[in-house]
Amino acid sequence: MSEASAPHAADRRELTGAQRNAVAELLRVSPVADELGRRFVRAGHELHLVGGSVRDALLGRLGDDLDFCTDAHPDETLRIIKGWAESIWETGREFGTIGAQRDGLRLEITTFRAESYDQVTRNPVVVYGTSLTEDLRRRDFTINAMAVSVPEHRFTDPHGGLDDLAAKVIRTPADPRESFGDDPLRMLRAARFAAQLRFAVHPDVHAAMSRMAADLDRITAERIRDEFTKLLCGADPITGLRLLVDTGLAERFLPELTGLKLEIDEHAQHKDVYEHTLTVVENAVSFEEDGCDFILRMAALMHDVGKPATKAVGPDGRVSFHHHEVVGARLTKARMKALRYPKDITAKVTGLVALHLRFYGYGRGEWTDSAVRRYVADAGDLLPRLHKLTRSDCTTRNRRKAAQLGADYDALEDRIVRIAAEEDLARVRPDLDGNAIMELLGVPPGPVVGRAWKHLKEQRLEHGPLDRDAAEAELLRWARAEGLID
C-alpha cells in the first residue's frame, strides 16, 4: 500500500479488524478453496477468490457462494473440476463462467475477462483476458476489485479497495464516466451498494451518475428490476432511494418517486410527500420480523404516488388528495408491469396501495361489525401487511395525535381478533355453497348461481353467520324478489 493511499490512523484500526474478519472467513472455506486452487496450479493455471467474496470476507459476512477467476478457459475449467465437484452447471458458460458445488459451497469460476462495449448495446461482448490485473480493472467498484490467490493466499488490491472499504466509500477502478459508459447498470449498482452496505458514493461517482443518468435507458427492464429490488431490500434503503432521486436515475425508471417531491403533504407535518414516503418506508422496515419483506417495502414506497394527479386546493386553501389510493394503485400496477415484476407480486403491492386508507375514520366510531368483516375480507392474506403499512403511514410529529392513531388501530386489531373468535373471518363465504343453491332453487350451474352466491356473501358480511334455516330463507326471499320463483 503506497503512502499516498494509506488510510488515516482510525482507518488502520478498522483495516486490522477487517483483515481479522477475512482470515476467519477464509479459514472456514479454505479446505475447499485451497484444494480447488491446487488442482488449478497442477494443471498449470492460477485461481483467485475475487470480487464480492473478498469484500464480504473482509466485512466478516462471507456466505456459501464463492466467486473465483482464472486464466483457464471454460473447457479447461471443466476438465479440472470433473470428478472433484459434486455437481457442475454451465448456464453461464457463454460469459466464461462454470458453476460447481462441493461440501455445501457453491462455486462460480470465471475466466479472466477483458470485456469490450460499443456503448450502444445493452450487454457486453465477452472477451477473455490474460491477467488478473486486467480482470480487476474491468470490475464495477474498487471494493469488488480485490483478489486472494489460492492456495497461496496472496492478496491483490491494485485500486485501493481495502482503503475504500475502511472509509466506506464506493469508487470505480477506472474513471467513472468510462465505467458507466461501458455498463450504465453500474450506476444503479452504486446506489444498491450504498443501501446494502451503508456506504457513501465518491463525489466523482455521484457527479458521473448525475451526468449520465439517461444512459440507463440502454438497460433492459429486467436488469433494472433486479438491481432495484436488491436496493429496496438493503439494510438502508433510504440512502439508496435518495441517491436515485438526487442523481436523476429514478426519473429514468421510477418517475413517480421523483414526482412526490413536488407535492406538499396535507397534514403539513413534512416538507413534502417525498419525505413522508421515505419515513413510511423506514417505518415499514422496522416492522419486519424475518428479513426483507419486499411487498411491504414496495407498497410503502408507492402508497402515495397517486397524490400528484389528485391534488386539489379548496376555497379555504387546504390541500386534498381525494381517491389518491385508487389512482396510486393504478399507477403502481402500470409501473411494476413495466419493470416486469411477476403478476402475483404486483397484485399484492397494488392491493396494499389500494387499501392503505381504509382504516382512517375508524376512530370516529363509524365502523360496524360488518365494516370490520369487509375490511378483513377485502384484505385477505394481505391483512398482516396491511396492519404494518397502516401503522407505518402514521408519521405525524404531533405526539397526542400519533398516540390516538396507535390506540385506534390497537382497538381495530383487538376487534378483529374478537370477531374472528366468533366467526371464520379468514374465509368469509356464503352460508350455502353452490350445490345447495342449485338444489334449493332448482337451477343448473350458471349465472343465477353466481348472483345468488354473491348475494349470500353480502349478507354474511353484513350480518355475520346465518344458520342453515335462516340462510335458506334469505335465499328464497332473494329469489322471489328477483322473479326466479313464485
Neighbours of 48 (CB within 10 A): 28
Q: What residue spans define the domains of the chain?
A: 9-167, 290-426, 429-481
Opening angle at CA 32, ends 28 and 33, nearest 5: 85
Q: Tens digit of pLDDT per residue, the chain (486 long)?
A: 333 333 343 444 455 666 677 767 777 788 999 999 999 999 999 999 999 999 998 888 888 999 999 999 999 999 999 999 999 999 999 889 999 999 999 999 999 987 655 555 555 567 888 899 999 998 999 999 999 999 988 899 999 999 999 999 999 999 999 999 989 999 999 999 999 999 999 999 999 999 999 999 999 999 999 999 999 999 999 999 999 999 999 999 999 999 998 655 455 444 489 999 999 999 999 999 889 999 999 999 999 999 988 888 888 778 778 789 899 999 999 999 999 999 999 999 999 999 998 887 665 666 777 778 778 878 888 999 999 999 899 887 767 777 777 787 788 888 888 777 655 544 455 556 777 778 777 888 888 877 877 777 777 766 666 777 777 777 778 778 877 877
CATH number of the domain located at residue range(s) 9-167 in this protein: 3.30.460.10
The predicted structure's pLDDT at residue 13 = 44
Return phi, psi of residue 196, to 5°.
-75, -40
Q: Residue 398: CB partners within 8 Å, gap ≥ 6?
A: 269
Q: Give the per-residue pLDDT at 480.
A: 81
Model pLDDT, residue 172: 97
Position 8 scores a pLDDT of 40
* pLDDT score recorded for residue 219: 94
pLDDT at 476: 79
How confident is the model at residue 108, as a pLDDT? 97
Residue 365: burial class (beta carbons within 10 Å; 0-12, 13-18, 19+): exposed
The x, y and z cell numbers of residue 84, run together, are 472433484
What pLDDT is stored for residue 269 in this prediction? 43
CA distance 408 to 58: 47
Categorise residue 20: left if φ over 0, alpha if ψ from -120 to 50, beta otherwise.
alpha
Give the pLDDT confidence score for residue 263 in this predicted structure. 52
Taking the CA atoms of the chain, what radius of gyration do you get in angstroms? 29
